[in-house]
A and B are shown apart, each in its own frame.
Chain A
Amino acid sequence: GAVVSQHPSWVICKSGTSVKIECRSLDFQATTMFWYRQFPKQSLMLMATSNEGSKATYEQGVEKDKFLINHASLTLSTLTVTSAHPEDSSFYICSARDPGQARGEYFGPGTRLTVT
């Protein structure tokens, strides 16, 4: 199946700083990537849809100025958590669709963010 990587796998940052998370499709080109957030013992919640070459589409309740998304190429999308606060601590997972395959989304390994 298609491979999606994420970096870093975990990060600890201080409150008020910014953190950038990268999501890459390794063996296919993804015009669309998705960013999800998962709090402990909860389900995945879609945050935004990242479209190559255009602005991201954010879900209701997700602050676009706080969670900056850049999809600069067909294999890379980045999520920057700006001015992070402890309540932003979560598991952030990206996914990508391989247009060449009939199956759906392939998830990255996730990034565990802890804001102190």
Chain B
Amino acid sequence: GENVEQHPSTLSVQEGDSAVIKCTYSDSASNYFPWYKQELGKRPQLIIDIRSNVGEKKDQRIAVTLNKTAKHFSLHITETQPEDSAVYFCAAGGGADGLTFGKGTHLIIQP
């Protein structure tokens, strides 16, 4: 089955700086890579996703890049704000299967 590794587990950045979270996956059949933001006690919220036929996608301050050959994808958040503090999960999947999640990154935005 799929295996997703996510790094770092904790990331602390100054407000206004950029944050980068990286994930690798193992199953070359995976073709869908979403990123979720989860605040304490709440459901994961989809913030951006990318499919395997695209190398990069951007939505305002958030961008995701995908390298299919190396089987890794990254989340980039620019101009970080206090409300960006949360746990971020990457995931990989596609087809009829559910998603395999990374272990999560606790992002802390320092004022």
Q: Which residues of A contact B (CB under 8 A)?
A: 1, 32, 34, 36, 42-46, 49, 60, 93, 95, 103-110, 112
Q: Are B102 and A34 in contact (CB under 8 A)?
A: no
Q: A34-B99, A43-B104, A107-B45 are in contact. List 14 more A-B contacts (CB 8 A).
A: A43-B102, A43-B103, A44-B44, A46-B98, A46-B99, A49-B97, A49-B98, A93-B43, A104-B34, A104-B49, A107-B44, A108-B43, A109-B42, A112-B41
User: How many residues belonging to B are interface residues under a CB distance threshold of 8 Å?
Assistant: 22
State the majority secondary structure of interface residues on A.
strand
State the majority secondary structure of interface residues on B.
strand
Q: How far, in whole Å, are A107 and B44 apart by their CA atoms in the complex?
A: 7
Q: How far, in whole Å, are A34 and B98 apart by their CA atoms in the complex?
A: 6
B89 at the interface (CB under 8 A from A): yes
Closest B residue to A93 by CB, please name it: B43
Q: How far, in whole Å, are A44 and B36 apart by their CA atoms in the complex?
A: 11
Q: Are B46 and A104 in contact (CB under 8 A)?
A: yes
Q: Which residues of A contact B98 (CB under 8 A)?
A: 34, 36, 46, 49, 95, 105
Q: List 20 A-B contacts (CB under 8 A).
A: A34-B99, A42-B103, A42-B104, A43-B102, A43-B103, A44-B44, A44-B101, A46-B100, A49-B96, A93-B43, A93-B44, A95-B99, A103-B34, A103-B46, A104-B32, A104-B99, A107-B36, A107-B44, A107-B45, A108-B43
